[in-house]
Structure formats: structure tokens, C-alpha cells
Amino acid sequence: MKLVQNIQDKFQGLIQASKRYPLTVLFLVVIAGLNTYLIQQETDDYINYVYSLIVGVFLSAVAQHIYERFFEKTSQRIALMGGSLLLTLLYFYTIGSSTVYDLEMTVKTSIIFLILAVAFIWVPTIKNRITFSESYLSAFKAFFTTVLFTVILYAGVGFIIFAVDQLLFSVDYKANLHSANLIISLFSPIFFLSYTPGYVTKKDEATQTPEKLVAKQNQIKNEVSVPKVLELLISYILIPLTAIFTVILLVYLLQNITGDFWTNNLLEPMLVSYSVTVILVYLLASNIETKSALLFRKIFPKVLVPIVLFQTISSVLKIQETGLTHGRYYVILFGLFAVIAGLIFGILPVKKNGWIAVVLIVLSVISITPPVDAFTVSQTSQTNLLKETLEKNQMLEENKLIPNADVSKEDKIKISQTIYYLTDMDYTEDIKWLAPYGQQLTYQFEEIFGFQPIYGETGFVNNQPAQDAYYATLDRQQHPVISIEDYDKMIAISYYEFSERSAIEFEVGDSTYAIETQGKEGKNLVLMDENKQSLMSIDLQEAMEQVATTTQTENLFTIEEGTVVTENEQVEMKVLFTSIDIYDDQYNSEFYLFVDVK
């Protein structure tokens, strides 16, 4: 009977959530209906519609919390719903109906989601006995409870569909997609909302007696309390792990305070992740009174501030060399937020934690508001850096680019990186002295600027890139003729193109052989006999690194430097690279493969 009662209570909670957030549920129904239609049509050209509807979901939920906290009339509730609907339509018409992926639109939309999610948690705590950390804890518990129920429900429905398909009659494969759509798009969000406490509203304050208000406050306090299991998880697992990671970072910082710390870009994402972890764990620990939680709240804000401050200064100094990109803009902005959050945590009492929500919302709004948004600022920064570098080397006169091979390596890197960024972000059309060149900036870079693009310092140490990139080609002027004597076949191959195609077959004598790729990203080039037995395998990425370590001339290598030979008792294979392009963990090359079957 208790199980039945729990199920009835949960269904009642879903109904109450639908009544509390009617416009939100309506948006969710539209999303589910749109997904159902598009699953049947087998198309995905609707991302902007989904973005707009999700924005509507968040806006309407926040509008409901604003109504509950500050208003009491039904007309005011309807007005807030109308406002959220109007803002949703405005968002849709702002981003347009294009289905082409747009990085700027995606990032700004993600920031809007973040702003609204924080507002959803923060608004009910304004001038309320419930603190921001308690509201955050409530959302935290609701989220993971929803994830658990969603996984169990989807697994159960999937198992039922599988059983029916195997035992009774054939079921269309789209049944799984439809069930996932209804569960994720409709059930899960409403289930999450059903766990949102019914905070004391403006109407409650105006109509309820003091005794009833106290009773409701106590009920809410009970709903936002920390479960014992979560208290143990935070106190004895999350906090100790965070402490260990903090010690490692502090040791590294002290060892490299005058060295690599200021130029190591790999630390930026690590420290951002660390800062996010500390802030989230701190908010969770704010609701716990164990010794480890109290110690964490006392010490970690003071540790967070210097770590993030040093990394933010490092990122700012890096701008002097590489200019500002939208990614580094957000790293610096988050660093500023983390420093302010650390100061708030360290100075103000726990009940004032809501100020970090205000700071986060303000900084997030700034980051998407022209002309100080991340993308406008980064475009201006990269354009100015490129223009200054070109003018310094007499490569820009009267809005025309002039090739110049006699440019320092540092300036070649700046020009290459800024051109890559501006073309990748489709900003060149907005720059009058770059717009006429169009795609030539990418495909005819050397003709326009007088040198091959260089994206960073080159070279390998222990078979790992020493810095950012390596790019070089075969010196064809010195080697116009390539000998194929002593080999049976010569095959021209492009590494990435070949990794996505079927095997290349050829005959030697009466036997048929095939060249194919194996391994992650097709990194191994394998020669197979007609019985599908491997005769030889060459690790192409290792071969590229070998060439990179032996290259003597910048951006050019000789036949001897670009050749890698491998042989055994059955076959000899020689790879002669004509171009190699390595950037971060991306490998690309073109080469001739010579095969001699013994």
C-alpha cells in the first residue's frame, strides 16, 4: 500500500507542477510534438526552433518564480507569462530560421540558458529566509533524482519494447526514439519541477497568519535539508578529493611561479574546472555543519582567490602575444567571477551567498551584449593584432596585402593564427581589406602572404609536440623527380581521405593485395594479402613525428628527411611524405606509398 501511495503522490506532484508552471509545460509539449514530427520525417533541420522553445521553457519558469516572490494578482501572472512568450519570439527572430550551425549563436544561447538557470534558483531566495545555497541544494537533489528516474524509466520502456518486438510482433525502430523523446522532453522536466519547493510567496505573506507562515517555512527547510548520504558524500569524499587536487595545484604554482605557469595554456581549462568544482562544492558544504565542511568553508575561499588570480593574470599577459579570442575572453571573465566569489565566500556569511548569483548574471549578460560581448571584442582584438603585424612588416598598403617572405617567425605565427581565427569565425567578410580575398586566405595562403602558415613553435620531444604545431612540405624544386625503381607499385594517398574510404587493391604477379587503415582514426597503414592476412603495418602518426624531428629547414624537408622505410622477410614498404600538418592532436598528411613484395 505504501508503494501505491508513493506512486499516487508522485503523480499528484506532476499534476501540481503542471498547474504551477502551465506555460513551461506548454513549451515542453510543443518540443515533444515537434520532435515526434521530425522523428517521423527523419530530419534535423530544426535546431533554432528547439533553442527558442528551450529558452521559452527557462523564461516561463523564471517568470513564475518572479510572480511568486513579488506579485499576487492573477493579472500580473498573466502579464509575466505574456512577457516571457514575447521574449521567446524576440529570441527566435533574432537568431533567424537558418539551420546552418553558428558557433556564436550557440555560445550566446548557452550563456542565456546559464543566466536563466541561475535566476531560477536565485529569485525565490530574494528577501527570503531560504538562502541561495539551500535553493541550489534543492535543485541539485532534484536534478540527480530526475536523472535516476529518467534512466530507470527509459530502460524499463526500452526493455518492454524489446520484449514485444522479440516475442509478439515486430516493432518499428522509431518506437525507441519516440519513447526517449517523450521521457526526456516531457516527463523529465516536469518531474524536475515537481521537486521545486513551494516557497513562501507574496500572496502567502499577505494572506497567511504568522503561525502558518512559520509552519510553511519549517516545511520548506525540511525539503531543502541535506540527506545523510549526500552529507557523507560531500564531507568525506568530495571535500578531501578537492583538497588533494588543491595541494597539487599549489605545489605546481610555487614551483613554476617564475616559469611555465605564465605561458602554459593547458592549465587554463584545468583551473577553470577546478574553480567550478570548488564553488559548487562550497555551495553544497554551506548546508552542512560537519568539521570537514566547516574547515572547507573557512580555508578554501582564501586558497581559491590567489590560484584563480594568478591564472587570470597569466591569461591577460597571453593576450599581448596572441590577441583576445572568445575562448580566452570567457576564461578571463570566469576568473574575475571566481575571484569575486572567493571574496564573497571568505568575507560574507553563508546566508549572503546569493550575491554570487547576482555577479554571475551580470557578468554573463555583459558577455553577450554588444559591443562588449565576447565575439565583438575578440573580432576587434584579432583584427587589430593582424593589421598591426602586417603594417609592421610592410604587408598592408592602401587596403591591399603584399607578400613578404622575410618576416620573423614570431610575426609569421601571429599572422597565421589571426588569419585562421578570422576565417574560421567568418569575420573576414566584415574586414574591407580581407573581404576581397575570400577563401583564398585559406587555400592560397602562401601566394597572398609569401610564406606557409605557421601556427606555433615546431618540433617534437619524446615523440610529443614541443609546442603547438608542425607544418612542412617536400622541397619539390630540389627534388622534381622521384625514383620508383626497386618497387612494384607506387600509390598516392591522403591520410584523412584514405582513413574514410575502403581499401585500395592492386596486383603483383598473380596475387592480389590491399592497403587499408586500422586503429583509432586510421593511424595504422596495413598491407593485406589475398587471404586477408596482415603482411606489414606502419604507424602513420609515428612516421609523421619521425619526419618532424629530422627536418632541418623550416617548412621544407628533403626526400631523405621525408622518407620512412619499413621491411620484413615478405615485403618492403616506403612512405615518402609530400606534406605534413600537425596541430594539437590533429594529424594530416599526403604521401606516396611504395610497395615491394619479395
Q: DSSP characters for 93-112?
A: HHH-S--S--HHHHHHHHHH
Find, among 492, 494, 563, the residue nearest to 522 by Cα.
494
Which pLDDT does position 548 carry in this prediction? 82
Phi, psi of 49 (to 5 degrees): -65, -45
Could you tell me the CA-to-CA distances from 526 to 536, 542, 566 in Å, in that order?
6, 14, 12
Highest mean pLDDT among 51-55, 202-206, 483-487, 514-518: 51-55
Which pLDDT does position 368 carry in this prediction? 93
- Residue 382, SS3 per DSSP: helix
Task: Give the domain ranges of the chain.
Answer: 2-223, 228-367, 374-449, 461-597
Q: What is the pLDDT of residues 17-30, one digit of tens each?
A: 899 999 999 999 99
Min mean pLDDT across 54-68, 123-137, 201-215 is at: 201-215
Confidence of residue 597 (pLDDT cuts 50, 70, 90): confident
Find, among 335, 322, 33, the residue nearest to 178 by Cα.
33
Q: What is the pLDDT of residues 535-569, one digit of tens each?
A: 888 888 888 888 887 776 767 888 888 899 988 88
Asked if residues 469 and 456 have their Cβ atoms less than 8 Å apart, the reply is yes
Task: Between 443 and 378, name the one with better pLDDT.
Answer: 378
Percent of the chain exceeding pLDDT 90 equals 25
Check pLDDT > 50 for residue 355. yes
Which pLDDT does position 44 carry in this prediction? 62
Q: What is the pLDDT of residues 178-227, one digit of tens each?
A: 899 999 999 999 999 998 888 777 777 777 777 777 777 777 777 777 88
Check pLDDT > 60 for residue 313. yes
Cα–Cα dist 530/594, whole Å: 19
Is the backbone peptide bond immediately before 371 cis, with ω within 30 degrees of 0?
A: yes
Instruction: For 192-242, give the secondary structure using H, E and C.
Output: HHHCCCCCCCHHHHHHCCHHHHHHHHHHHHHHCCCCHHHHHHHHHHHHHHH
Which pLDDT does position 490 carry in this prediction? 85
Find, among 61, 111, 83, the residue nearest to 365 by Cα.
111
- Residue 423, SS3 per DSSP: helix
What mean pLDDT value characterizes the chain? 83
Highest mean pLDDT among 35-39, 280-284, 454-458, 468-472: 280-284
Which pLDDT does position 496 carry in this prediction? 64
- Which residues, including other chains, have CB under 8 Å from residue 545's CB and lie 6 or more apart? 460, 463, 582
Asked if residues 69 and 123 have their Cβ atoms less than 8 Å apart, the reply is yes
Rounded to two decimals, the pTM is 0.75
How many residues comprise the chain?
Answer: 598
Beta bridge pairs of residue 474:
557
Which pLDDT does position 398 carry in this prediction? 81
Confidence of residue 462 (pLDDT cuts 50, 70, 90): very low
Check pLDDT > 80 for residue 501. no
